[in-house]
Chains A and B, each alone.
Chain A
């Protein structure tokens, strides 16, 4: 069955960096585009970034552009999100999601990022 497992979250100081990973299994990873979506505590969903199946195109929300980088390693069935210059506004649960015709048909359980001094 399709599984997406995020990792790499934790507590980081303002201005710091963190790299999230999303390990995929149960489907042909290299055939699907992927998203990162986040959710601040008690808030709604915010789309963060997208990467094509082959990694040739990436797109970002304005709130993270220039600070976050989405990438993937199809040989390792893994999606990444490199997050730099983190601020309190980046505190959230981060989910990876598989793309189905523009939507997210399978989601991981999420990994929590807390930016705090």
Chain B
């Protein structure tokens, strides 16, 4: 099973600042990596797939990069709507399709 590790667990950022979230895979997942956003009491929302392709309707301030074992989600200028928990997921070698444990982005 591929283990996904996200860091940091919590990221404190001021509105308008840049946020950088990391995701590491225990073995290469090529570019088969997705990012999701989840707000309290809501279902996850797909942000990025293929490591760097934004899903339909996702603002350009969200960008993904990386391949192999190291990935990054960058939010260029945090809006109030962006404070949430973010998960990465690999779909390269499965089952299972494994998620990271999440990074909570909170207001500084």
Task: Tell me the A residues contacting B by CB distance below 8 Å.
Answer: 35, 37, 44-47, 50, 59-62, 95, 97, 100-110
Known: A44-B87, A45-B87. A61 touches B95 (CB 8 A): yes
**A27–B83 Cα gap in the complex (Å)?**
30
Asked if B25 lies at the interface with its beta carbon under 8 angstroms from chain A, I say no
Q: Binary interface profile of B, 18-39, with partner A (CB < 8 Å = 1, else 0)?
A: 0000000000000010101010
The interface residues of chain B lying within 8 Å CB-to-CB of A106 are 46
The answer to whether B101 touches A60 (Cβ under 8 A) is no
- Cβ contact within 8 Å between A102 and B97: yes
A sample of 19 inter-chain contacts (CB < 8 A) reads A37-B44, A44-B99, A44-B101, A45-B99, A47-B89, A47-B98, A50-B97, A59-B94, A61-B96, A95-B43, A101-B49, A102-B91, A104-B46, A105-B55, A105-B56, A106-B46, A107-B43, A107-B44, A108-B43
